[in-house]
Structure 1
Amino acid sequence: MSLKDTATRVAILDTLAKHITDQLKAAKAELETGLRTAKAETGTQQIAVDLNGTDIGKATLVQPKAAASVIDETALLDWVREVAPSEITNRIVTEIRPAWRKNLLDSLTAAGVIEWADPETGVIHEVPGVEMVGRAAHTRLTIPADGKAAIAEAWRSGALTTVVLPELTAGGEA
């Protein structure tokens, strides 16, 4: 293959990849909206993925638990100075040691409340400057190896032309 042929191939593949990426983003947004609606209306959070009558995987709406998040650095820093001063690192900027901060937020997230139990004294502290913040739901698509093989075979045989190709060839910006 000549250099010119290689450049042409790269240009074509790059253009198609960008167009497919745009279509994928739009399709995923539509799927997530549909799953959110289904959850609100019927409680459904998972649907089967079907290709020509064959179950090839599943699409799931995942709603992560709320996680502890610092909303007031100063309040948290002042509190740590009181209850765990050895976890403070003094530099030009004073900050909580990152490992201790991560452990604190992880333990608050696991507990589901903004309360910390001092392991040495057993005293329960309400932690200022931190709150439980909900995390955005997202869609998880699970396609096992045999499902991927079925999609590849459908692509090779031309069976996907009515499913995917009209959107890719519908004109407009490529």
Structure 2
Amino acid sequence: MSLKDQATRVAILDTLAKTIANELKTAKTELETGLRAAKAETGTQTIAVDLNGTDIGKATLVQPKAEADITDPVKLLTWVREVAPTEITTRLVTEIRPAWLTQLKKQVEAVGRPEWADPETGVIHDVPGIKLVGRTAHTRLTIPDEGKQAIATAWRDRLLDAVVMPELPAAEQEVA
């Protein structure tokens, strides 16, 4: 397969994967809405899933228990100090100011070495605890809407089977 053919195949698969992911998200939302309505109307929370008359599973509306979430940490802390003061821990936190650390990292990246030049003295310091880590190359796909439409049309017309359809093993027959 040529490099151009590989790029075409990746573009097609990427577009299809994103299209299917969007369709799946919509379908899941519709299913959940339907299950919520069924629960409200009839109490039904589970529905059988079948394919051509064969039961292949079930879809269930899962209602997890409520989870506690802290909405006002200051009010909670004040309350705990009053009712359970032994459950309070006081700590001194030492950390590098995030804005300064961001600037330090940018300077290290700019010079390509873990060094920092003090802006007041000009002294260059070796910076312990920081190292430059290489980044992996990646491919970016840019497929305009017209290309996506062409892929969708070719998919519907079954013109992509030889390009993107994986070979699936035949189902094993049960031996009686």
- Name the structure with the higher strand share: 1
- Give the structure with higher Rg (CA): 2
Greater relative contact order: 1 or 2 (C-alpha under 8 angstroms, separation 6 or more)? 1
TM-score w.r.t. length of structure 1: 0.50
